[in-house]
Structure 1
Amino acid sequence: MIATSLAIPDVFLIKPQVFADERGFFMESFNKEHFEAAIGRRVHFVQDNHSLSVKNVIRGLHYQVKCPQGKLVRVVSGEVFDVAVDLRKTSNTFGRWVGAYLSAENKQQLWIPEGFAHGFLVLSEAAEFVYKTTDYHSPKQGRSLLWNDSSLAIDWPLQGEPILSAKDAEAKTLGAAEVYS
């Protein structure tokens, strides 16, 4: 596994070692010891999630306030543009975002630590997205940051109108959002 720190140093793009031949491929999608060594900290995952979304769906930008979740995300079918926004008020990168293209083809993963909002845009006709979390889903603590907040200036590679949930369509801007202290 190769872990590369992105423009926000706590967010890592993970490239697994893939063994491919005429039969197909094999890869280790998660190894606790290797993962923790790569990101430089201990992590305890408690939940796995799996979603299917169609082209132009934007899910997010989601986060939880009192029980923040670190996420290790990947795509098993299709392609997405994945985004993490730093919501840690005391961070030098507060309000900045990073993005990465994740696909079944490139098999890359993104580590998004606690204190970030997370979302993705589906670029293929459909995409299956799987991820591990460091805390349980808590609808009561769930928040959404507005995907097109001009203060964030996220450069979404969107072609056409986005498809949003009601929750995401009514999300808050960074200036009005609850953030981490």
Structure 2
Amino acid sequence: MNAVSADPVLHFEVYVLMTMRNRMANKMDQLRATLSRHGFTFENAERVHQQLSEALGGEATRYGALTEALGSPAGATSSFGFSSVLWPNFDFEAKADDAGLLESARYRHVRNRSDLPHSPRELALWAVDVAEFTSHFGPMTAGQQWPLFDALLPAYEEYEFEWEGGRYGAGFSWGLFMHAAEYWD
């Protein structure tokens, strides 16, 4: 597939991937490789990101604009989802609240789950979702959470948890695992 594809799911996921770039400073090779596997250059992806950012508009119309951008008629349902192209073991789900505003948008790991490593620091980028991480590494306390369409860290969540006597933090973007690290005193 090339970058001029009209596939709305792929374009949305390229948008999502580009929102992660601020948290991938030392993993830019992985970001570029993921884009390349799907026919996108970094520059193409930046254009897709910019176009979709503009198309999604403000908070009041974002859910409708998102459903339309992904090929569904606006206002058809209060939730929708799709199987991921970039992260094939995951599904994406978006939900609107009673007022029709976008309430949540995240990925869930639903296919081909494998054994997880012993340490959270050994997890690969995008390997698990929040629920799977929690079930394997124990309860987490919610930390800072950025809005779905924040300018710097959209849909980014941080959590704290205890692991083998140490205090750790974990970060997730759009529900996908980004990193885990032990806190230092």
Q: TM-score range by the shorter chain?
A: under 0.3
Structure number with larger C-alpha Rg: 2
Q: Which has the higher contact order (CA 8 A, sep 6+)?
A: 1
Which structure dedicates a bigger proportion of its chain to helix? Answer: 2
